[in-house]
Structure 1
């Protein structure tokens, strides 16, 4: 039994015509192995018309009809070379993929390098699973930067789907395309919960804020009830409305430090708790308050600032992954 080399198996796999080859870090050159060409609807329509015209030329023995048929067929076939040249030789590099929140479109940045002196016209790029195609040109010896959007429905890492570059240049009779898989991913944070367990003047922040004795206390938000919390701080109106037992939280200005604890976070399931913690992290960061985050198996110490915020949100995004 003759064994087929793995490389040839990959080349003969018909799925690579639509899914492309295995994902790599890049850059990916669009060589002859990666560019495919087939007639589109217009091309098949022209082929049918030329076939009818050819039969009519035979039937009437009309030399002018033969010349016109062969001339149009020659021009159409010549366009395949231009379509191939329009894609071949380009190189695709990955760019930035900033974090987003679940429910927002993820932004993938790609760079398309054109090292040749040929002006690449009428190019298109589309992500797998989307219906939107971006149309663009690439000037000679220059780079085009593309921003492609993908739906980010779930938290965690979102890999870049297959990107298909295509062109119907110059006559629109043939479609040349090249599916590309770059090893790139975007981090998706949990979807933030709506502000406030119950609409207060300020959004709820986590458990643990306590004012220093003698300082003026200001209302800060709500937190989950813990055994030992003062009864006078229980939000009895919320209890009467069936919204659970929550404790009013007060802070004394700069002395307030928050402990955002998974254990005392309300929520029906894991995702609801993560959404609430995400909201609290955003609110604490906006208020300039020092805060810490405690998750099962993960403890992030007190801090504030953009780096601390990103670290906490990343821990929430990758929780349980």
Structure 2
């Protein structure tokens, strides 16, 4: 029964999103105009209109010109506020910066850079902006098998927060304002962010102007790190080499070891010419070759998938902090050994998207359901 009742709502929402895609196309930078701005009276505005009507009826009934004049004054304020509220909000322009990856059940941040509007570069938008994600936060990510993970939180989707604008005119010496919008997602995977609703009721709060902007931003949500029975297999690039051995190849990537007396017959490229020029002593350089150590992270395939991925995530972070050379080997994930921050992000990205077919991800994005994501 609940599914039957929710079907019309999903159809209406889907058509509304398609209409918004045509009217306000997705872009990383938006300059508001007539097509992207919607305006209606607020609750206080409707009360003000009702008051004006009551004053007009009372003034007409009792033939009180002062009461009629007051009702006309209230009506004039409503009309002037309508135009000024729209004109102020139409000066708003914003650009979204790339969204960095974060772990699920943690808060990320979408950075919005306030820009001068193309039509009024010297007249900034004033007031306080209210932000909130458009629609309930739903995501359905299909993993292999029949297992699926769904998040739904109407409370989170209705959460709004306000950020005041600096209100300074844009010039060469002024610093543009950056707004931070929190993003909260509870399951791993790659997501397209939903449209962001931005509203403003400046100056008197009688009208509210709002817009639904799609910044065409995607984010990879890493798994939540957790302890688990991870197997760390130690491997070496050359098992026959010693941990510290001398070598005669001075042009290799080996480490400098010591200076020895030069013996006739040794290659001249091993001679330390700096010492020869300084004191006339002929010395030769010797080098050592360290045994390269690498590790491969794996885990028993019988362990629950989400538990295994969380454990591998924690092990990946720890080995990266220890500057170790490591790789991953888990079911379909094979990452060759390497080290560094970029390698860590590659491993975490592979773990985050594990078991998520590309076709299923594209289908969910076409249906519009994967675009509705959560905030604080």
The TM tier, using the shorter chain, reads: 0.7 to 0.9
Tell me, in whole angstroms, the C-alpha distance in 1 between the residues paired with 2:44 and 2:223: 46
Runs of 5+ unmatched residues, structure 2: 1-14, 134-156, 243-289, 357-376
Q: 1:84 aligns with which of 83, 86, 95?
A: 86
1:179 aligns with 2:184: no
Q: 2:161 aligns with which of 114, 125, 133?
A: 133
1:137-158, CA deviations, whole angstroms, 9 ceiling, x for partnerless residues? Answer: 1432263311111212111113
Question: What is aligned with 1:267?
Answer: 303
Q: CA deviation at 1:15?
A: 6.2
Tell me, in whole angstroms, the C-alpha distance in 1 between the residues paired with 2:182 and 2:22: 19
Question: What is aligned with 1:95?
Answer: 97
**TM-score scaled by structure 1?**
0.73
Q: 2:56 aligns with which of 54, 57, 67?
A: 54
Aligned residue for 1:131, secondary structure, equals coil
Question: What is aligned with 1:206?
Answer: 231
Q: CA deviation at 1:36?
A: 1.0
Matches within 5 A, 1:28-177: 28-115=30-117, 116-128=121-133, 129-137=157-165, 138-141=167-170, 143-177=176-210
Tell me, in whole angstroms, the C-alpha distance in 2 between the residues paired with 1:16 and 1:29: 20
1:68-104, CA deviations, whole angstroms, 9 ceiling, x for partnerless residues? Answer: 1101110121101111011114222210211101110
Distance 1:24 1:297, change over 3 A: same
Instruction: Kindly indicate whether the alpha-carbon contact (under 8 Å) linking 2:301 and 2:331 is maintained by their aligned counterparts in 1.
Output: no
Greater displacement, 130-139 / 276-285: 130-139
Question: What is aligned with 2:318?
Answer: 283
Question: What is aligned with 1:192?
Answer: 225
Instruction: Kindly indicate whether the alpha-carbon contact (under 8 Å) linking 1:101 and 1:190 is maintained by their aligned counterparts in 2.
Output: yes
Greater displacement, 122-131 / 77-86: 122-131
Tell me, in whole angstroms, the C-alpha distance in 1 between the residues paired with 2:350 and 2:18: 36
Q: Which has the higher contact order (CA 8 A, sep 6+)?
A: 2
